[in-house]
Amino acid sequence: MIRKTAFALLVFITSQISQAQYQYPSTPEHPVVDDYYGTKITDSYRWLEDMKKPEVQKWFKDQGDYTNSVIKKISGRDALFNRMKEISALAGDDYAYVKQLGDNYYYTKKIKGESINKLYIRKGLNGTEVLLLDPNTYKKDATITSFNISPDQKKLAVTLSQDGAEVCDLRIMDIESKTFLPDNLNPVWSEFSFEFTPDSKAITYTKMSTNDNKSDDFLKHMKSLLHVIGTNPETDKILASKENNPNLNLLAEQFPDVAFSGNYSYIILEIGSTKSEILAFYAPYSELNNSKINWKPLIKYEDEITSYQIIGDQFFFLSHKNAPNYKIGLTDIKNPNVDNAKIIIPESNKVLRRIQKSKNFIYYTLSDGIVQDKYQINPKTLESKVIALPKGSNGGYALNSRENDNFLFFNNGWITPSTSYYFDGSTDRLEKSKQFIASGNYPDFSKQYSVKEVEIASHDGVMVPLSIIYPKNIKMDGSTPCYISGYGAYGLSRSPYYIGDNLMALLEQNTVIAFAHVRGGGEKGANWHKGGQKATKPNTWKDFIACSEYLIKEKYTSADKLIGNGASMGGVLIGRAITERPDLFKVALIEVGDTNIIRSEITPNGPNQIPEIGTLKNETDTKYLLEMDAQSKVKKGEKYPAVLVHTGMNDARVDSWIPGKFAAILQNYNSSDRPILLHVNYANGHFSNDLDVTYNDSADMFAFALWQVGNSKFQMAK
């Protein structure tokens, strides 16, 4: 039970030192006391949560304007942005999402010098390229988030978003005329799948109940629908929903997602959430036109399956049940029995990752946390063999898992931009892709920079992986700035993919780049995830602190040069790191961070996070949430590092008032002479698909950080 007490007293408190040097917009305190099962927490910034109020909107605008006025005075900021663009241009044209249907190839491409992807068709592997869709002709500042091609190749289905928002329009285009049909299926979430029926006459998709991210129903009560092209979307048939299928016991915040098996024999209903484990049902494809589909259980949460593929009637699955490093099992989808399935790839000392398929083969990844090897399984013999890719981090996808066995693989390293490989699974032919590869030429970064992979002892003796990228001419005397980033949630792993052009520009400023592979992630399997979840969540920021201490101890950097970073759920990591050890960091960069965990459950996206962090409806979970909450750990009069808190006003995952409140309390309570700034982007959401938006945000953050750690190129103009 949570009790609330409001105080009528209006209090103004600002740090005398901070106020003297930085004239922040005034932030009054209106204290509210919450009683969390006997633990009382004062929240003086609750009023900032009402984003519809004019005074709150004005506060955010004033904060954003003030931050911009400070950052624009930092010398070197514009040069840093331009350098990011220069490095990006070295890649030349950048390809993504390649799909093959027959002899035709469909893909998005970002042309050298441009900031967004456009959609193209190439008729034949070496054929002429034709532009299908420039998203800016649809709406200003629109970007393509996903697309699919109908089996008859006459229609294109595409999701388009604006200003970094993740709520999209799903539109259908006639490919020959390059015109949109009247069908406008919206709102849909950018990550939801959509798929044409085999006759190309209809499409499945998941529709949101509202596009208003301030509504209580936002990200709730979604429906999986079947839309017959050319008909009124209001008449779309419901395939699955909480209201239509009470027997499935769906929660309001779960989202149903329907897809078809490779040979269109089965309809698969997957219930989405933030859980790593999957809940799924299935039915024969013949039931698609029934008035109501009789969904049968396929996967239960207790099966602990995180990935699966279907070839014919063979159901392959990846599970960590009694196998923390995962195993691959096989059962018959006509009568699935996961408990008694045949284990074809047993657990080993390496971690099995996501399984994928082409028409006739299954693929999986085996990782030691850094090197990722790709393997192919023959479903007929169940024999497995490694694919002869170069050592490194290897990812990829099938070009058409229904029609052929063609794959695109991508080989990466921290300072090695992606190299594309074309693989024909039916012949084992592997070669560098000549068609879908960046056309530019990056320099050999390994001549200037080194990479070191270490494991360091955390607070409890557990060994935590730490990746360090540093200039070869580094002086190991603690004088070099260091940017350390961590995440640690949802079992997600930070694999050694190319650090990106923005971080490469930071590395060039004689800065060490480090990635802490903390608990809560998936680098060491399911137990690594569980080791930073709910009761064990403190391990996430304590691992991060231990990695930071190692970098200082080994003299890569010093506390006066250390820049800590966390984004999204990584806001817990960086927020708690600087509230527990404010002396350890000179700068904290917090990107769309969830720093007010005890309040996030009331947000539209909050219920989705319950499987990962717990719920206030449970007293035990509440104790864990209170420990994670950075907002309530800020102490009046403490000396905090310089902090740049970033929010995108179109963010539908972390409401802007969460970062806003954290900046507000730090501004008022900080007693150091270091700035606390709130960076507000009105053209962005949780992230952006527009490189110019991304690089501008990065340039602001890194210029701020380099100014604070004393880089002579980044100084405040007088």
One-letter amino acid for residue 471 of the chain? P
Better pLDDT: 418 or 47: 47
Nearest to 71 by CA among 583, 659, 638, 703: 703
Residue 238: band (very low, low, confident or very high) from pLDDT cuts 50, 70, 90? very high
pLDDT of residue 663: 98
Nearest to 168 by CA among 195, 204, 206: 206
Residue 10: band (very low, low, confident or very high) from pLDDT cuts 50, 70, 90? very low
pLDDT of residue 214: 78
Q: Is the pLDDT of residue 18 over 80?
A: no
Q: Is the pLDDT of residue 4 over 70?
A: no
pLDDT of residue 126: 87
Mean pLDDT across 377-400: 94
d(CA 562, CA 455): 19
Q: Which helix (H) or strand (E) segment is 465 a member of?
A: strand 463-471
> pLDDT by residue (tens digit) across 125-146?
889 999 999 999 999 889 999 9
Better pLDDT: 565 or 274: 565
Question: Is beta strand 202-207 parallel, antiparallel or unpaired with respect to 195-196?
Answer: antiparallel
One-letter amino acid for residue 451 of the chain? V
Q: Which domains does the chain possess?
A: 52-85+444-708 (3.40.50.1820), 95-234 (2.130.10.120)
Mean pLDDT across 301-326: 97
Mean pLDDT across 499-512: 96
Contact of 274 with 301, CB cutoff 8 Å: no
CA distances from 558 to 449, 476, 482, 512 (A): 20, 10, 8, 11
Residue 441: band (very low, low, confident or very high) from pLDDT cuts 50, 70, 90? confident
Residue 8: band (very low, low, confident or very high) from pLDDT cuts 50, 70, 90? very low
Q: Is the pLDDT of residue 355 over 60?
A: yes
Contact of 636 with 45, CB cutoff 8 Å: no
Q: Is the pLDDT of residue 586 over 70?
A: yes
Q: Which residues contact 475 (CB under 8 A, 6 or more apart)?
A: none
Mean pLDDT across 284-301: 96
Q: Is the pLDDT of residue 689 over 80?
A: no
Question: Is beta strand 587-591 parallel, antiparallel or unpaired with respect to 327-332?
Answer: unpaired
Residue 5: band (very low, low, confident or very high) from pLDDT cuts 50, 70, 90? very low
For the ranges 158-162, 265-269, 533-537, the lowest mean pLDDT is seen at 158-162
Average pLDDT, the chain: 93
φ/ψ of 226, rounded to 5, equals -115, 120
DSSP SS3 for 649: coil
pLDDT of residue 169: 94
Mean pLDDT across 296-312: 97
Q: Which tokens is 544 given?
A: 């991060």
pLDDT of residue 57: 96
Mean pLDDT across 381-404: 94
Contact of 130 with 652, CB cutoff 8 Å: no
pLDDT of residue 216: 84
pLDDT of residue 439: 54
Mean pLDDT across 172-195: 95
Q: Is the pLDDT of residue 16 over 50?
A: no
Mean pLDDT across 467-484: 98
Residues of the chain with pLDDT > 70, as a percent, come to 96
pLDDT of residue 277: 95
Note the pTM of the prediction, 2 decimals: 0.91
User: Per the omega criterion (within 30 degrees of 0), is the bond before 607 cis?
Assistant: no
pLDDT of residue 9: 32
